[in-house]
Amino acid sequence: DYGLTDRLMAGISRSKGAAEVRNGNVYFNSLTQLWEGKLKYRLLRQTADNHIPFALTLFANAMLSTRSALEDPSSDIHFQDFSDRWGFMGQIILARKFSRNISLAILPTYVRRNSVAFMDMNDLFALGAGGRVKLTSRTAVLFDYFFPFRSKKSKDYFKQQGVDFYPALSVGWEVETGGHVFHLSFSNATALLENQAIPYTTRSWLKGEFRLGFNIERTFTLGSKRTEDVQ
C-alpha cells in the first residue's frame, strides 16, 4: 500500500485465496491465485471540535483469479471469457472516534462477482461494523462483523447441498511497539479479501470453527517527513 497523498492510497496484493469444495460435486468459492488492486480515498476527516463529527472514507478493489478453469458449467470457475475472472468490491467506511479509547465504524458494502456457481448471487450487499477499544497506551482490542444479505432462495439451495453461510466475525488483539504494530486475530472467515470473506464464510463460532492469524504492520516513509509530522 502506498499513500499517494494525505487522502488517497493505492495498493496491490497477491493471495492464495480460500477455495471451498463441498460434497464432491458442489463447487462454489473456487477462486484461487488472486491478484488485487485497490484504492482508498478519505473524503471527510473528523475534527476535534466536532464541526465534522465523523470520518468518511471510500474504498474499492478489483480482484482477478489466474487459476485454470473447470469444464463444469455449474461452477464459479467455468471461465468462458476473461471478464469472468474478475470480482469487485465497493465500501463506504463511516467512522467516529468517540473518545481517546473507543472508535467505531459502519461499513455498507457491495460485492460483485462476474462468475458465480449455480444458484449463487453475482451481486451481494452486506452491512459491516468494526471497532477498536484501547486498553492501555499500546494495546487494544479490535473486532469486525459483516452480515451478507444473501437471498433466501440461494441460502435454501446451498443448505440442501450441506452448505451453510454465516456472518464473518473477527476479534483481535493489537500491540504497538513503537515502529511496529502486532496483530493477533481470531476469525471464522478463511479468506483474506472481502470479496470472498463476506459472501463465503461457512464456519461458525458456535461450533468452535475459527482460525488464528498473526501479522505485523510497519510504515515506511519515502523522502523526508514534513516538519509538523516530526515529534
Are residues 190 and 16 in contact, defined by beta-carbon separation less than 8 angstroms?
no
The reported pLDDT for the residue numbered 178 is: 80
Sign of CA dihedral 216, 109, 202, 191: negative
Whole-angstrom Cα distance, residue 19 to residue 77? 11
- Within its chain, how far is the Cα of 204 from the centroid? 18
- Decide: pTM greater than 0.95: no
The reported pLDDT for the residue numbered 26 is: 67
Consecutive 10-residue averages of pLDDT for the chain (231 residues) = 95 89 68 96 94 96 95 89 97 96 98 94 97 95 97 94 93 91 94 94 93 89 58 33
The reported pLDDT for the residue numbered 21 is: 60
The reported pLDDT for the residue numbered 27 is: 72
Are residues 127 and 109 in contact, defined by beta-carbon separation less than 8 angstroms?
yes
Sheet arrangement for strand 2-3: 2-3, 8-15, 34-44, 55-65, 86-97, 102-113, 123-134, 139-148, 168-176, 180-187, 211-218
The reported pLDDT for the residue numbered 231 is: 33
